[in-house]
Amino acid sequence: MQERYTNKMDGMVAIVTGASRGLGRAIAKEFAAEGAKVVVSARRSSPTGLTGTAVETANQIRDAGGEAMALACDVSDEEQVMAMVGQTIDMYGRIDVLVNNAGVMVLGETLLDIAPDIWDLSVAANLKGPYLCSRAVLATMIEQKSGSIINIGSRMGSDHEQGGGVLYSSTKAAVHMFSFCLADELKEHNIAVNILSPGGLKTEGSAAIPWTQRDWEQRVEPEAVGPSAVYLAVQDASTFTGRLVLRVEFGETWGKVS
């Protein structure tokens, strides 16, 4: 284990959705390296054929000396979400952190290009997923009187010129507002809700998008997001909540680098 890890999340239990690859996998591994017990959640297989599974991520965590449990879950399916959260409680007895990372990207298509079923699938994954997962963990977090929900946002949800298009940008903008409102709602229960915008990443999903090659060298590996995610994970409503923060500004305009 690298020296920079100081067990900031020792004893904590974290659920990370969409953790079969890319950003979700990187965050899950970072949490485990900081001492958390991590529930690695993802669909059994990628509908677009991308490699990686939750089991592989959990195995990598255990191989590095961490603790993880892999659970298959489609975050747009309420029954599957409730089962995932129930299994987490059965295994670990608590939930301290939820990272709503699972989602899909439909980029480069006009409104007329996007069929209604594709629209519905994107909204289900990108917006209904965070709603269902957040709703499922709240009873436990409220009972604990603490918790942290991290919703993965995007610059495309704040700036229409970033290329997100009518569908992806709309879902991410909705996630941003969902997070702000939920943060206000949960302050009395000491539960933090924040939005982490990771910026351009070199992930398997990004590599499949042709126009990302234009700025590929300016993008960072998903592991670069880990420390900022850990900072948000250890917050509660008394310390840091209701914020949309950029990974690239971590340690400068927000967060403390230890």
Residue 130: band (very low, low, confident or very high) from pLDDT cuts 50, 70, 90 = very high
What proportion of the chain, given as a percentage, has pLDDT over 70?
A: 86
- Ramachandran sector of residue 42 (left: φ over 0; alpha: ψ -120 to 50; beta: rest): beta
Active site residues: 168
Q: What angle in degrees, to the nearest 10, is found between the helix axes of 22-33 and 226-233?
A: 60
Give the pLDDT confidence score for residue 211 in this predicted structure: 46
pLDDT at 65 exceeding the cut of 50: yes
Residues in the chain: 258
Strand ranges across the sheet with 147-152 = 67-72, 37-42, 13-16, 97-100, 147-152, 191-197, 244-246
Cα–Cα distance between 233 and 227 in angstroms, integer? 10
Cα–Cα distance between 80 and 72 in angstroms, integer? 8
Average pLDDT over residues 46-54: 73
List the domains of the chain with CATH numbers. 13-249 (3.40.50.720)
Considering only the C-alpha atoms of the chain, give the largest distance between any 2 of them, rounded to a whole number of Å: 52
Give the pLDDT confidence score for residue 205 in this predicted structure: 52
Q: Is the pTM of this model over 0.85?
A: yes
